[in-house]
Amino acid sequence: MDFFGIGPLELILILVVLLIVVGPAKLPEVAGSIGRGIRKFREATKELTKDFKEMTEEVKDAEKEVSTALDPTGGLTKDLKEMAKEVKDVRQEIGTALKLDTGLTDDLRGMGKEIKDVAKEASSALQPAPEEKVDAQKEDGEG
Q: What is the pLDDT of residues 73-93, one digit of tens each?
A: 666 777 778 888 888 888 888
Q: Are residues 66 and 1 in the same domain?
A: yes
Percent of the chain beyond pLDDT 70? 74
Q: Are residues 79 and 120 in the same domain?
A: yes
Q: CA 25 to CA 116: how far, in whole Å? A: 122
The total of structural domains in the chain comes to 2
pTM: 0.36
In tens, the pLDDT along 41-59 reads: 889 889 989 988 999 999 8
Q: CA 53 to CA 56: how far, in whole Å? A: 5
Boundary residue ending a domain (9, 42, 70): 70
Q: Are residues 84 and 143 in the same domain?
A: yes
Boundary residue ending a domain (70, 93, 118): 70
- DSSP class of 129: P
The SS3 call for residue 72 is coil
Contact 24, 33 (CB under 8 A): no
Contact 60, 68 (CB under 8 A): no
DSSP for 16-57 reads HHHHHHH-TTTHHHHHHHHHHHHHHHHHHHHHHHHHHHHHHH
Residue 6: strand pairing partners: 3
User: Angle at Cα 77 formed by Cα 73 and Cα 78, nearest 5°?
Assistant: 120
Q: Are residues 84 and 119 in the same domain?
A: yes
Q: Are residues 3 and 23 in the same domain?
A: yes
Q: Are residues 56 and 99 in the same domain?
A: no
Range of the domain at 5: 1-70
Q: Are residues 44 and 102 in the same domain?
A: no
